[in-house]
Amino acid sequence: MPETHEIIIVGAGLSGLSAAHFLHSSAPGTDILILEQDGRPGGAVRSFSEHGYLAEWGPHGFLDNNPASRALLSETGLDRIAQKAPLGSFVRYVCHAGRLVQLPQSPFALLKTPLLSPLGKLRLLGDLFKKPRLEEQSVGQWAAYRFGPEILPLVDAAITGTFAGDYERLSIDGVMPGVRALEKEAGSVLKGLLRKKRGAGVLPAMTSFPLGMEQLITTLATGPNILYHSPVRAISRGNEAWEIHTGAKTYRAATVILALPVNRALTLLADHAPPLAALPTAGIATVALGFTDKAQVPFGFGYLAPERENRFAMGALFSTRMFPGRAPQGRVLMEALVGGRRHPERLELSDDELISRIYDDLRQLIPLPEPPCFSRVLRGDSGIPQLEMGYPALLAWKDSLEQELAGLHLCGFGWEGIGMNDMMKTAKMVADKILLQTGGKRPEPEVKPVYF
Ligand SMILES: Cc1cc2nc3c(=O)[nH]c(=O)nc-3n(C[C@H](O)[C@H](O)[C@H](O)COP(=O)(O)OP(=O)(O)OC[C@H]3O[C@@H](n4cnc5c(N)ncnc54)[C@H](O)[C@@H]3O)c2cc1C
């Protein structure tokens, strides 16, 4: 007889662990089993610690303005130890004509920036007079139409900082559904933002933890029943229950949550004719470099480099500026990011070559009188799903599949966004839907701050 549980979650990444947390916090006795293919939880979230340096294979932080992640932190007690870097007091930079220039922190600050010519700034206001185009467009087409072509390097920087992606391929409806809804509702993005601005509170803060992002995972993973080394190979609908097959065993549950990156879920659901076989993904390597305090790392989060600057790194985080405890006393840490949708070939280079190319790149932008005294290349297994043209059709397919197949729920990397907040929010939505049997309509898309 297959082993039976009330709910089976496939995947012990942030999505699966968050779903288990929200289910247990509302219904403590629920019998949940998580099946995880690896020997560790966390998926893309993984921290690196060596010789007093603390770096990240995957995410470096998330904004504290999302109700689901705030609830999760307060219910686990993590809010008491969370480290915060407020957007209001930390500047970000963009590489512009070979040097670092401070980024405008809000759409309105764009008007004062040296990054745009006076005509370019005037053209931003063209948004007020451009009728929304309803058809699917790339982020680049959409931004150029609404704000003029001069905005594109800044759009590129924002897209590089979130998706490591290509703004000419990503779908505006996939990437910024909230901004699109605002544009359609108000007739223009700026008009919509002006309306929203009334009542807007303080700027949010980037959040991490003393042991890095993995501390969120290890905390969440202490509660639920997780079976490691259990890759799910197939799922099928039996009599009133789902059957979940690992290589070794079959499990049964009335409710199954696939908390997986889109492509992994699509493999398990291939019989249901998805409109796309897979989404493209963008691989990234983090090159962590430690320096003595002679390195003159500017104040702020870090910088991003638009493609037209022809830099080797997509950007770098000024890790010791953002959060305490990222390097030993008297040392500073920077984490440069390389690869992405446009340059997968760079990930083929050896560690030594990556370190040397990144150091050369960084020292043209930042005074670094000495070579790094510490270096590591962190190559994660996860690629960032690219919500490119055609993605909205995939999302519509997911919605109708969940309607059609009772007891099946999807959340995870690339469904409803790619950021950690998106994952925690969607996991909460799925948990609420299961517990309340609401029928689960997706909530209104939110207008997120642009996260460089
Ligand atoms: C390099 C990088 C940098 C990032 N930076 C940021 C950032 O700064 N801020 C931010 O908000 N977000 C960032 N993200 C995104 C963030 O990491 C993701 O939103 C989040 O980790 C996704 O969690 P998940 O659980 O949905 O997926 P995953 O982390 O991919 O977890 C899925 C889990 O499922 C398991 N699994 C897969 N297939 C099976 C199977 N068949 N059977 C059983 N188990 C299976 C995997 O082993 C894994 O443990 C970044 C991502 C990457 C890759």
Q: Provide DSSP, 360-411.
A: HHHHTTS---S--SEEEEEE-SPPEE--BTTHHHHHHHHHHHHHHSTTEEEE
Beta-bridge partners for 234: 245
CA distance 10 to 269: 13
The position carrying tokens 């659901």 is 269
- 385 CA distance to ligand 1 centroid (A)? 10
CA distance 209 to 120: 40
Q: What is the pLDDT of residue 450?
A: 59
CA distance 221 to 337: 28
CA atoms 415, 421, 423, 426: torsion sign: negative
Is the pLDDT at 423 greater than 60? The verdict is yes
Task: Specify whether the CB–CB gap between 43 and 11 falls below 8 A.
Answer: yes
**Cα–Cα–Cα angle for 67, 69, 72, rounded to 5 degrees:** 110
Is the pLDDT at 306 greater than 80? The verdict is yes
The position carrying tokens 């053209």 is 123
CA distance 365 to 228: 44
Q: 58-72, 143-157, 196-210, 288-302: which has the minimum mean pLDDT?
A: 196-210
Are 274 and 288 contained in the same domain?
A: no
Task: Specify whether the CB–CB gap between 57 and 212 falls below 8 A.
Answer: no
**Cα–Cα–Cα angle for 53, 56, 61, rounded to 5 degrees:** 115
Are 363 and 415 contained in the same domain?
A: no
Task: Specify whether the CB–CB gap between 252 and 3 falls below 8 A.
Answer: yes
Are 265 and 393 contained in the same domain?
A: yes
Q: What percent of the chain has pLDDT over 90?
A: 87
Tell me the mean pLDDT in the region 308-323.
97
Range of the domain at 301: 284-379
Query: Dmax of the chain from CA atoms?
Result: 72
Does a structural domain hold residue 96?
A: no
Q: What is the pLDDT of residue 110?
A: 72
**Residue 300 beta carbon below 6 angstroms from any ligand 1 atom:** no
Confidence of residue 103 (pLDDT cuts 50, 70, 90): confident
Question: What's the pLDDT tens digit per position in 58-73?
Answer: 999 999 999 999 999 9
CA atoms 100, 450, 131, 108: torsion sign: negative
Q: 78-82, 193-197, 332-336, 407-411: which has the minimum mean pLDDT?
A: 193-197
**Cα–Cα–Cα angle for 137, 171, 433, rounded to 5 degrees:** 125
More confident residue, 226 or 86: 226
**Residue 165 beta carbon below 6 angstroms from any ligand 1 atom:** no
Are 167 and 244 contained in the same domain?
A: no
Does a structural domain hold residue 290?
A: yes
Whats the size of the chain, residue-wise?
452
- 339 CA distance to ligand 1 centroid (A)? 18
CA distance 244 to 182: 41
Residue 279 DSSP code = -
Q: What is the pLDDT of residue 452?
A: 44
**Residue 45 beta carbon below 6 angstroms from any ligand 1 atom:** yes
Q: What is the pLDDT of residue 282?
A: 98
CA 146, distance to chain mean position in Å, is 25
Are 446 and 316 contained in the same domain?
A: no
Question: What's the pLDDT tens digit per position in 324-368?
Answer: 999 999 999 999 999 999 999 999 999 999 999 999 999 999 999
Tell me the mean pLDDT in the region 365-385.
96
Compute φ and ψ for 271, nearest 5 degrees. Answer: -70, -15
Task: Specify whether the CB–CB gap between 281 and 386 falls below 8 A.
Answer: yes
Stated pTM of the model: 0.95
Are 271 and 294 contained in the same domain?
A: no
CA atoms 388, 393, 395, 398: torsion sign: negative
- 260 CA distance to ligand 1 centroid (A)? 8
Q: What is the pLDDT of residue 196?
A: 78
Are 375 and 288 contained in the same domain?
A: yes
Question: What's the pLDDT tens digit per position in 139-174?
Answer: 999 999 999 999 999 999 999 999 999 999 999 999
- 42 CA distance to ligand 1 centroid (A)? 7
Q: Whose CA is nearest to atom 9 of ligand 1?
A: 59
Tell me the mean pLDDT in the region 315-324.
96
Task: Specify whether the CB–CB gap between 292 and 373 falls below 8 A.
Answer: yes
CATH of the domain at 63: 3.50.50.60
Q: Whose CA is nearest to atom 20 of ligand 1?
A: 420
Are 187 and 135 contained in the same domain?
A: yes
Single residue among 197, 218, 241 that ends a domain in this structure: 197
Number of domains in the chain: 3
Are 217 and 173 contained in the same domain?
A: no
Residue 66 DSSP code = -
Confidence of residue 451 (pLDDT cuts 50, 70, 90): very low
Are 110 and 160 contained in the same domain?
A: yes
CATH of the domain at 354: 3.90.660.20
Amino acid at 141: Q
Residue 111 to residues 104, 108, 121, 149, 197, Cα–Cα distance (Å): 9, 6, 6, 15, 17
- Of 229, 249, 413, the residue with max ligand 1 atoms within 8 A of its CB, to mutate for a pocket test, comes to 413
Are 276 and 389 contained in the same domain?
A: yes
Residue 110: both structure tokens together: 């764009």
Q: Whose CA is nearest to atom 34 of ligand 1?
A: 11
Does a structural domain hold residue 7?
A: yes
- 395 CA distance to ligand 1 centroid (A)? 18
Question: What's the pLDDT tens digit per position in 324-335?
Answer: 999 999 999 999
Are 30 and 160 contained in the same domain?
A: no
Single residue among 379, 407, 433 that ends a domain in this structure: 379
Is the pLDDT at 386 greater than 50? The verdict is yes
Residue 351: both structure tokens together: 């560690």
Confidence of residue 193 (pLDDT cuts 50, 70, 90): confident
Does a structural domain hold residue 97?
A: no
Residue 450: both structure tokens together: 């642009």
- 118 CA distance to ligand 1 centroid (A)? 42
Does a structural domain hold residue 93?
A: no
Q: What is the pLDDT of residue 442?
A: 61
Q: What is the pLDDT of residue 195?
A: 84
Cβ-based neighbour number of residue 135 at 10 Å: 6
CA 281, distance to chain mean position in Å, is 13
Q: Which long-range contacts (CB under 8 A, 24 or more apart) does 112-117 make?
A: 115/153, 115/154, 116/150, 116/151, 117/150
Classify residue 117 by burial, with Cβ atoms within 10 Å: 0-12, 13-18, 19+. Answer: exposed
**Cα–Cα–Cα angle for 133, 134, 136, rounded to 5 degrees:** 100
